[in-house]
Amino acid sequence: MLITIEPTKFGDEDFQQNLINETLENFKRVSSERPGSIRYPGQGVLKRRNNNLKNSILVKKIIWEKVLNLEGDNE
Give residue 72's pLDDT band: very low, low, confident or very high (50, 70, 90).
low
Q: Are 68 and 57 in contact (CB under 8 A)?
A: no
What is the value of pTM for the model shown? 0.39
Rounded to whole angstroms, the Cα distance separating 18 from 4 reads: 16
Which of the 8 DSSP states describes residue 30? H
State the Cα angle at 26 between 28 and 51, rounded to 5°.
Answer: 20
Q: How many CA atoms lie within 13 A of 37 on its CB side?
A: 10
Q: Residue 54: its pLDDT value, please?
A: 94
What does the pLDDT look like over 17-61, one tens digit per residue? Answer: 888 889 888 877 876 666 666 667 787 888 889 999 999 888 999
> Which pLDDT value is given to residue 3?
72
- The predicted structure's pLDDT at residue 13: 84
Domain residue ranges of the chain, discontinuous segments joined by +: 8-74
Q: Which residues have a Cβ under 8 Å from the Cβ of 27 and sit 6 or more positions away?
A: 38, 39, 40
